[in-house]
Amino acid sequence: MKRFRFISIFLAFAILISLMLPSAYAASSSVKGMTVEAKAALLQDLDSDTVLYAQKADEKVYPASLTKIMTALLVLDAVDAGKLSLDQEVTAGGTTWNGLESDTSSANIQVGEKLTVEELLKCLLIQSAGEAANVLAAGVSGSIENFVQDMNKKAEELGCKGTHFVNTSGMPDPNHYTTCNDLYLMAKAAMQYDEFKEIVASVDCRIGKTNKSEERHYYNTNGLLSNMRYSGYVYSSCIGIKTGSTEDAGYCLLSAAQQDDKTLVAVVMGCENPTDKAGNIKRLQFSESSRLLQWGFDNFSERTILDSTFPAGDVKVTLSKEADHVAAVPEGTVSAELPNDISIDDFDIATDLYESVAAPVKKGDVLGTMTVSLDGVEYGTVNLVAANDVSQSVWLARKAAVQNLFSKLWVKILAVVILVGIVYLVLRFKVFKRKRGSYGGSKRRSAGGGYRGGRRRRK
């Protein structure tokens, strides 16, 4: 029984490791006819990390102002660590406008101006102010250069595979790049902060009067949230996140939307915004993003593939008079975000059960595993456990213990040695007894013979 317990622990550990691995699946292969007018695109479920759509999602692209998601993430990490506070004032230093072009988005922050960390984050994420990124960078890491190093370190920690930063705001540079997959990882990390979620979902913001400026009022650059900048693109389910555009990057949008209890994140990179015959610019970064998000809501749903009611089979039980088999049932469930046109019956179920198990068996004891897959993609593995208790027969257990003992090689060797020893002692005893008998007989024969000598008389 100890051997089976060890196997059970090993299987449980292996399943735990598998559950810690990334759980994203390209499950959208059965949903046909979806393409996005962009250089690269990605649609992913924020809660399960399931990939619903991917279009060159691992190819390097210029991030433009989507870079500011990482900038904000590092600032909020510093706040969370107690290095800064949201109401702490930061003074814009001499490097405030370093590396920025004259036509970059800005909040007109002046050198020497004092703003709180929260106000700077609003300027960064709502107005997309490049100088706010530099001010925050110096406030967190002491310098822009140190902050950029921290950005690259954070990207590596998040598991980004195709990202490298050289500035805080997304100014064009051949060595400043990322991927849709990496941008999703950054957004997911940033969305863990309530402050971030609140700011990127805001239609507008007001920056109070400072030592260098009167009150300022800015509207979000995200056309899915407001008509104030771009009319006709509002998507009621949108909850953020960030726009970006440069000549090299094209028009980009990383957006999030929520319907019921499902949150989807769309990354659309490198859109080209054509002008129609009437002279109207088609803002594809917005229209393609909302179309992609709604397609995800319409065509995918959370489905239970496997639960405890699924028949898994029986396992033979030894050392018991109560039962010779015990039923195995799945422990827990396997669920996934799946295309609505996929049938649960299409999945492959691979069962790996023990051939037998020795009683006593406790309800919940691990008896094997069950793996669910479709088209070579694994969707989960669960333990198979005993459905009920099975008691042990004491007599059968003792009999098996004796049989097991005498089946061991060292016991057999010991038995042979003991047997040889016994044989040796018996033979030695017989030989000794024979020799002793022969010696005793010769003495009796000598004593029984007549004395030939004469008796000497006294004179």
pLDDT, residue 404, reads 65
pLDDT at residue number 387: 93
Size of the chain in residues: 459
pLDDT at residue 407, as a whole number: 72
Contacts of 28 (CB under 8 A, 6+ apart): 34, 43, 51, 52, 53, 54, 300, 339
pLDDT of residue 403: 62
Residue positions annotated with a catalytic role: 65, 68, 128
pLDDT at residue 159 in the model? 98
The pLDDT value given to residue 441: 52
Per-residue CA distances from 113 to 96, 117, 134, 217, 382 (Å): 10, 12, 13, 17, 58
**Residue 304: Cβ within 10 Å count:** 11
Is residue 194 classed exposed, middle or buried when 0-12, 13-18 and 19+ CB atoms within 10 A define those classes? exposed
How far the first Cα of the chain sits from its last, in Å, is 100
pLDDT confidence of residue 10? 42
Q: What is the pLDDT of residue 316?
A: 94
Res 396: pLDDT: 53
Closest listed residue to residue 258, CA positions, set 289, 237, 288, 287: 237
What does the pLDDT read at residue 423? 83
Q: What is the pLDDT along the chain (459 residues), one digit of tens a residue?
A: 444 444 444 444 443 333 333 344 444 345 677 999 999 999 999 999 999 999 999 999 999 999 999 999 999 999 999 999 999 999 999 999 999 998 899 999 999 999 999 999 999 999 999 999 999 999 999 999 999 999 999 999 999 999 999 999 999 999 999 999 999 999 999 999 999 999 999 999 999 999 999 999 999 999 999 999 999 999 999 999 999 999 999 999 999 999 999 999 999 999 999 998 889 999 999 999 999 999 999 999 999 999 999 989 999 998 888 889 999 999 999 999 999 999 999 999 999 999 999 989 999 999 999 999 999 999 999 999 999 998 876 665 565 556 666 677 776 787 788 888 888 888 877 777 777 666 555 444 444 444 454 555 444
| Rounded-to-integer distance, Cα 66 and Cα 245, Å | 9
C-alpha radius of gyration, the chain, whole number: 40
